[in-house]
Each structure stands twice: as C-alpha cells, then as structure tokens.
Amino acid sequence: MTGLSVSTGSTSGAAFCGHCGEPYDGGDGPPSSAHRECGARLAMEPPRYCAACRRRMKVQVTPLGWSAECSRHGVLVP
C-alpha cells in the first residue's frame, strides 16, 4: 500500500513504541518510565519503528523536516 498516509499523532492506541519498537504498555493508562523517555525522544526525533506492525522504517531527515515509510503501512506524516 504505497502512498498511504498514516498520522503519527499520539502513541496512545498504538501497539508498539515508535522509538524503541517494543510493545507499547501505556494503553489507556500512563506508560512505563522507559516509554515516557521514548515519548520525550519522539518529540525531537522521527519515529524509527512502525507503531502498527513494529517494522523498522525507512527514515529521511532533511533541514525542513522528516519523512518515514513503513513497507506495509506507507508514509507517516509529522
């Protein structure tokens, strides 16, 4: 499904952490301290893992922003 845009909104509801790729343990409650640190890093960096399927994404960082692409879910938009 190339070209599909997926929002990178908040990590709540996501199955996996976008920074470390581990299962997201927040659910409806607060995440563990490890994933709070990941959330802080994701505020400054693009996600490296797809939150839906845990695949490593192709990430390109430019002076104007970033783009990330999952082979299954398409392009993520900031």
Tens of pLDDT, residues 39-56: 888 888 999 999 889 999
User: 76 exposed, middle or buried (CB, 10 Å; 0-12, 13-18, 19+)?
Assistant: buried
Cα 19 from Cα 21, distance rounded (Å): 6
Please give the structure tokens belonging to residue 55: 């695949």
Q: Is the pTM of this model over 0.85?
A: no
Cα 20 from Cα 35, distance rounded (Å): 8
Q: Is a pLDDT exceeding 90 seen at residue 35?
A: no
Q: How does DSSP classify residue 43?
A: H
Query: Residue 77: enclosing H or E segment and its boundaries?
Result: strand 74-77
